[in-house]
Every structure is written in C-alpha cells, then in structure tokens.
Structure 1
Amino acid sequence: MTKIILTGANGFVGSRLFSQLEHHPKFQVVGLCRRVPQGVSGSTLHAVGDLQQADLSTFLTGVDVFIHSAARAHIMRDEVADPLAEYHRVNVEGTLSLARQAVAAGVKRFIFISSIGVNGNINTRPFIADDQPNPAEPYAQSKWEAEQCLTQLAAETGMELVIIRPPLVYGPFAPGNFGSLVRWIEKGVPLPLGAIHNKRTLVGIDNLTDLIIRCIDHPAAANQVFLAGDGEDLSTTQLLRSVAKAMGRPSRLIPVPAVVLQLGATVLGKKAVAQRLLGSLQVDISKTRHLLDWTPPVSVDEGLKRCFSISKD
C-alpha cells in the first residue's frame, strides 16, 4: 500500500482529494492542515500550524508520496504590508522546506500543485506544458519560483517531481472567481456579458483530483509538468449560461460588445477584472492525456450539475 502525505487537506482541492484517498484501496493517506475544522474528528487529519515552520518528521516515516496542495492563494483584499514577500515566504520558502524534509525522510515522489498562471494569464493560442513561463501576478510568480527550486532539488537528490498546473477550478462551494460568478447569478443581476466570444479552459474538482491520483504512481509522471483541464473550452457567455442552467435559474445576460466593456473597465481601473471575463486562456492537455493515458472523467455539464446537486443536499 502506498503511503501519502497531503498538505492543505482541509482546503477546497485538498479536502476533496483527501476524502477520495481515504477511501481508496491502494493508498494510505495522512492529511495535514493549519487547523482541523470544528466538528471533524479522526486520526488521519492533523493540525500542524504554520507549515512553513512545521517539523513533519513524525508524519513522514514510511511515506512514499508527498502531495503539496497547501498554498497562499489569490487574496482580493490583501492586508499584509508586503504581499509579494508573503507569497515568497509561504509558496517558495515553505514549499522548499517541506520538500527538503521529504528528501531527508526518503520520500520517492513529490507532487506539487502549481498554477496555469505560471504560463501566463491570457493567450492567443492554447498553452502547452513546455511553453516559456510568463507569470504576470505575485501568486503565479511565487509558484514559478517554487517550481524552479523543486526542480533543482529533485535533480540534486533523485526524488521524483511531478508538477500540475490547473486553471480555474470549479466545484461545490468553490471560492474565488467561480464563487463570485455563482453569487451574481443567484442574485439575478442582469450582466452585460451576453456577447463574449473568448475561450477559457476550466477544470472541475473531480477531474483535477482524478488527475492528481493518476500521478501518484504512474511511471510516466516522474519529473514532468502537466497542464490540467476539462478538455472543453467555454466562452464567458457560455459559462454563465451553463452555470445558470445547472442552478435552475435564468442567466439574464445583456449582449454588450466586448470592446465597449473593455473600454469601460479601463476607465474604471478594472482592467484585470475585464481580462478575466473577456480574455482567452486556453490549455492544451494533449501531453497529459497521452503520457498518462488519462481522459477527464467528468464533462463540464456534469461537473456543473454536481456543484449544485451537492449544495442542495
């Protein structure tokens, strides 16, 4: 049986992955998090406080695979004095500290959940795993720096490294941009996004966790970078309509030309918001499919249905 350590085991991605690994016959998992959520009990989920300062030697005995999903992610209203330095402390220095402990304990494989932001945040052709990195934001920059540190450590020590770069992840109770989109539709607010013809790749939580699990012991995953995605690209207009349909609500979209929205966003100082809604960000998962013999098991329509069927339970 493969023994696994998972950080961020109470986060959005980590909690779903932790649940699946707990019930998997091939794996034994120990989940680590800053604090155990209230009402959660059990011997396989442990609070270790600040991972950047944690000594994990107690948990690492006999571990085969280390999955690092914990991170300082996008924070819309950052209150720290130096956000860039804090991203570096947590996502670069903290990741390297954990990886060094994994090496010392004899861990065979380290799986790092990175971000498509390492490739960039907009494109005119789909990103591939071997593209020259072009991170445009502090979060993505810290992920790229962490990738470089891990690659060097793996080369020096022989520990296998797997890097996975997901785009926007959606699922039940998803935070961030997807959660904001859901709240707009719930409120029934008319949105001027009925004529957007961009293309964006997303990844459903079940597809992402399925990919991570495939990387745990697949021989071809060693020392590779993989891009994640559903294999179906949607425009912002299509996404809003699909989400509304899955929720059983009207989409209330007004067809305003993208160029008008872009101009208005520039005047209001909201260029970054407009870029996420109007720009394209496509991901080519051909390498992931072929090297791992992997196909996303859940369609976008089914993934969106699961978001709200679970929410209603």
Structure 2
Amino acid sequence: MSSTTATENTISPGQRVLVTGATGYTGSTLVQKLLNQNVEVVAIARPSSDLSRWQDAPIRWIQGDVFDPKLIQEAMEGVNYIFHMVTPFREAKSSDDVYYNVHVKSTQLLANEALKQPDFKRFVHISTIGVHGHIENPPADETYRTSPGDLYQSTKLEGEIWIKQFGAETGLPITIIRPAGIIGPGEKRLLKIYKMVCSGLVPAIGNGGNLLHLIHVDDLTNCFLLASQHPNAVNEIFICGNQDSISFKEMVNLISKYYQKKATLLQLPSAPLFLLGDILEFVCKPLNIEPPIYRRRLAFYTKDRSFNVNKLKSKLGFVPQHSNEQCITELAQWYLEEGWTNIS
C-alpha cells in the first residue's frame, strides 16, 4: 500500500488493459493486481514464454513479437489502458536492433493504435532511471540531464522522447515512469550479492560507497496503477524510488547483519576491470556468448543512482511504504526460504 487510497489505485472493473512484459518480474506482479481488480487483461508474451502459472487465469494471451504491426493491431482492439514495460533480456550478446525494436518501434506501434481506440484513457510508459547515467551531484530529479551508458538505456530514452512528443502533438494521454532498482521477493538479479555475503567475501569496485536507489515491486506497481488514474499524471515524467538512496556498502552491511555473517569488502580497481569488460564484450558478442564481465554489470558497482522523488508525492500523493532496510531484509529472507542462500 501507499499513502494514496485504494480507490485511486483502482481501474474500473470491465476495462480492457494491455500489458507488455507481462511475464517478467514486475509485469507479473502488475497483472495479478489487475486480475484482482476484475479488469479484462490482454497480455503480449514472447513465443518462448512459459505461461503455465497463468493457465487458469482469465488473461487473453497474444504471443509474438511486440514490434509486429499485425500483432499490435490485434492486441489493441478495444483497449482502454496500456502498461508498456516490455524489455529485451539484458544480455551483452543481444543484437543492437533488438533494443530498438522493443523499446522504440513497439512504442510507436502501440501509440498509433491507441489513437484509434474510441475510449482510450492512458498510456503508462515504463522507462528506467538509467537514462540519467551517473549522478554527479546527487540527488537528481526528473529534470536532470540524460546520459545513457549503453544501448539498453539509450533506446529506452529514445522511446521516452518519442512518446512524450507524440502525446503532445496528438493529445494521447501518456505518463512516463522511470523506476529505480526493483527489489522484492521473486527478484533474482541480486542473488549473487546475497550469496557472496554468505561466503564472507564481497568484491567491490572502490570502497563500496556508490549509491543505489531502490523501489519495492509492490510500491512500484501501485505507482503504475495510480499513474493510470490520476489526472495530474497526464503528460508527466516521474522517477519512482524510495525516499532515500543507499550505498552498496550499506546494502552489504544490512544483508550481513540479517544473516549474522561477517562479510569483508574486497576492493578492486575500476580501470583494469572496465578494460577487461570491453575486451570480453568485443570477443564474446560476435560468438553469441554472454561475457562474464561487461560494462553494464560493472556500472552497478561504480555509478551513483540517487534521486529526489518528491514530484511523485507533490503531484500524485504517492509515498512508497517499504524502506530500504525492509526491501533488503525481505529479499534476504525469501532467498533463505527458497534455499538459494545458506547461513549454516
């Protein structure tokens, strides 16, 4: 829950809602909330997606490429709301055109089809705080300069810019949300860090002082729903994150305290690692092999991500309800229950 009321987070029963990226971690959380609100859910999924967990759910699945014009035309029929969060698997071996097609072309197709729907209400476009790059004088806000650091982030930004301009020119009601680092039970991207804490040795680039900004998946999806309903959200960009950032070292200390495991930071120099990452990406990508080290992964340990999130509070009345400590320790417990970390 957030400081907003349940009514403000609720889409009227019977409305038709399209979700892209519905099988992902955040997407599946949102879909479940939409089902609980008795709306009609249409979801686009890759042909390879495992839909078994949804086999008894009243979802209309459309499988194929989100940048296929015919598929989008079919999916958009009678839609009232769009939550557009699909993204390619973030792998260094992914071809360049995949990012453009998923982040930009699909956005263009969806927006143009939305204009044709007689009762269309809101296009919620999900981007990333990564479009800002490293924050030189934290915290930053939505007006801070953009400086994407890789193709994933640059095409996310391109999609943002296009949909913002399209909305201004056509009157299509859009809202852009840039989520911070998403965390919560079910999220597996941080598992390696938790495992390293259990081992007692955690590699870090520098002293571990780089800032991370987090948001619990429950808070984030509540924010999505609110943005789809609130009149103050139209044609706006919002950064959705916790009230404060946290350093990597502080995160490690919280995990260490929860697991009652003493963990030592192994400080590594950045320049040789980034050079090695560049070399491995150059060698591995043509071979369609995921490199063990690459720039985007190293950026997690070096770039500052710290934001002022007051715009969400002042315009929409939204305040996340999960603190950084709650986010980190809840995930620690979930990993433990799943048997993925061991503190014996």
**Band the TM-score falls in, shorter-chain normalisation:** 0.7 to 0.9
CA-CA distance at 1:229 after TM superposition: 0.7
User: Does the 8 Å CA contact 2:40/2:59 hold for their aligned counterparts?
Assistant: no
Larger RCO (alpha carbons 8 Å, 6+ apart) = 2
d(CA) in 2 for partners of 1:13, 1:96: 22
Matched, 1:204 2:216: yes
d(CA) in 2 for partners of 1:110, 1:253: 46
Aligned position for 1:38: 52
d(CA) in 1 for partners of 2:263, 2:111: 48
Q: Deviations over 1:215-273 (max 9, x none)?
A: 11001000000001111211111111223444x251512374xxx63355356457835
**298-307 or 138-147, which deviates more:** 298-307
d(CA) in 2 for partners of 1:184, 1:74: 22
Structure 2 unmatched ranges of 5 or more: 1-11, 278-292, 339-344
Aligned position for 2:307: 283
User: Does the 8 Å CA contact 1:3/1:63 hold for their aligned counterparts?
Assistant: yes
Q: Give me the TM-score of the superposition, normalised by structure 2.
A: 0.79
Q: Give me the TM-score of the superposition, normalised by structure 1.
A: 0.86
Aligned position for 1:50: 65
Residue correspondence of structure 1 range 181-200 to structure 2 within 5 A: 181-186=193-198, 188-193=199-204, 195-200=207-212
- Over the aligned positions, Cα root-mean-square deviation in angstroms equals 2.6
Q: Deviations over 1:73-94 (max 9, x none)?
A: 5214x1x4xx322211221112
Match of 1:306 among 313, 326, 330: 330
Match of 2:261 among 237, 250, 265: 250
d(CA) in 1 for partners of 2:89, 2:136: 22
Match of 1:108 among 110, 115, 121: 121
Q: Deviations over 1:151-176 (max 9, x none)?
A: 22212321111101112212223244
d(CA) in 2 for partners of 1:60, 1:93: 15
d(CA) in 1 for partners of 2:147, 2:58: 41
Structure 1 unmatched ranges of 5 or more: none
SS at match of 1:74: coil
CA distance 1:192–1:91, shift in 2 (3 Å): closer
SS at match of 2:215: strand
Aligned position for 1:154: 167
CA-CA distance at 1:45 after TM superposition: 4.5
Residue correspondence of structure 1 range 81-100 to structure 2 within 5 A: 83-100=95-112
CA distance 1:52–1:32, shift in 2 (3 Å): same
Q: Deviations over 1:110-136 (max 9, x none)?
A: 111101111224433222112232212
d(CA) in 2 for partners of 1:61, 1:267: 49
SS at match of 1:140: helix
SS at match of 1:301: helix
Aligned position for 1:14: 27
Aligned length: 302
d(CA) in 2 for partners of 1:190, 1:310: 21
**57-66 or 90-99, which deviates more:** 57-66
Q: Deviations over 1:197-224 (max 9, x none)?
A: 3322122212211211111100100000
d(CA) in 1 for partners of 2:19, 2:310: 27
Q: Deviations over 1:134-155 (max 9, x none)?
A: 2121011101111122122212
Match of 1:3 among 11, 16, 23: 16
Match of 2:84 among 68, 72, 79: 68
CA-CA distance at 1:275 after TM superposition: 3.8
User: Does the 8 Å CA contact 1:7/1:33 hold for their aligned counterparts?
Assistant: yes
User: Does the 8 Å CA contact 2:96/2:151 hold for their aligned counterparts?
Assistant: yes
Give 1:223's aligned amino acid: N
d(CA) in 2 for partners of 1:28, 1:123: 44
SS at match of 1:21: helix
d(CA) in 1 for partners of 2:214, 2:253: 15
**3-12 or 190-199, which deviates more:** 190-199
Aligned position for 1:138: 151
Matched, 1:166 2:179: yes
CA distance 1:263–1:88, shift in 2 (3 Å): closer
CA-CA distance at 1:57 after TM superposition: 4.2
User: Does the 8 Å CA contact 1:33/1:48 hold for their aligned counterparts?
Assistant: yes
SS at match of 2:201: coil
**103-112 or 274-283, which deviates more:** 274-283
Aligned position for 1:125: 138
Q: Deviations over 1:264-288 (max 9, x none)?
A: 5356457835442133221111111
SS at match of 1:197: coil
d(CA) in 1 for partners of 2:275, 2:151: 24
User: Does the 8 Å CA contact 1:161/1:223 hold for their aligned counterparts?
Assistant: yes
